[in-house]
Amino acid sequence: MSHDRRVGRVRQLSRYPVKSMLGEDLDQAYVDEAGVDGDRAFAVLDCVTGKVASAKNPRLWRDMLTVPVPVPVLQRARR
């Protein structure tokens, strides 16, 4: 039984190494059952509350989606 049936087209491939921060566009990626390799591999921890920072809470983290991910994090996500 062949699984090579075409089901769609990828127009853009992006990865977000740090949850709720800006991502990067990719030409290719390794994908398995867990998703795109390196996607959301890291998060920002609020040391006061002990919770993961999220852009879903705009009162506290409204600017997170405007912050680029530091290059060393991108390099680690690419391994």
What pLDDT score does 79 carry?
Answer: 54
**In the structure encoding, which two tokens stand for residue 69, read together?**
């991910």
User: Quick one: how far is CA 7 from the chain centroid?
Assistant: 24
Residues 38, 73: Cα–Cα separation, whole Å = 10
Per residue in 3-50, pLDDT (tens digit) is: 778 888 989 999 988 888 888 899 999 999 989 998 988 888 888 889
What pLDDT score does 72 carry?
Answer: 67
Element (H, E) at 25: strand 24-25
**How many residues does the structure list for the chain?**
79
Give yes or no for residue 2 having a pLDDT over 70.
no
Residues 77, 66: Cα–Cα separation, whole Å = 19
